[in-house]
Amino acid sequence: MGGTDYHEIDRIAGDAAIEADPEITTMAVQSRQSFIRTVRYLTGAAGIRQFLDIGSGLPTMQNTHESRPAGRTRIEGGLRR
């Protein structure tokens, strides 16, 4: 998916997953695209203005706060440490 924040073991595990299921990369990209479309719909047409984002804490691309129109919603992250 083009990320840069990972460890060597992540690449090894990713390569093993791709070897086991070559479609997994396409599925991961489509899943992220669906997430982005959903956030944009919810903040636009559905009028949602606040989200509680309880993520895994792992680095990813286009998180909830990056996928919404700027200034239109409030994003609260869960499980602060």
Question: Does pLDDT of 79 surpass 60?
Answer: no
Mean pLDDT confidence for 53-73: 67
- What distance in Å separates the CA atoms of residue 23 and residue 29, rounded to the nearest whole number? 10
Mean pLDDT confidence for 33-48: 88
Question: What is the value of pTM for the model shown?
Answer: 0.67
| Closest to 6 in 3D by CA, of 48, 53, 61 | 61
| Closest to 76 in 3D by CA, of 45, 55, 59, 46 | 55
Question: Does pLDDT of 81 surpass 60?
Answer: no
How far from chain centre, in Å, is Cα 25? 14
Q: What is the sign of the dihedral through the CA atoms of 60, 66, 68 and 72?
A: positive
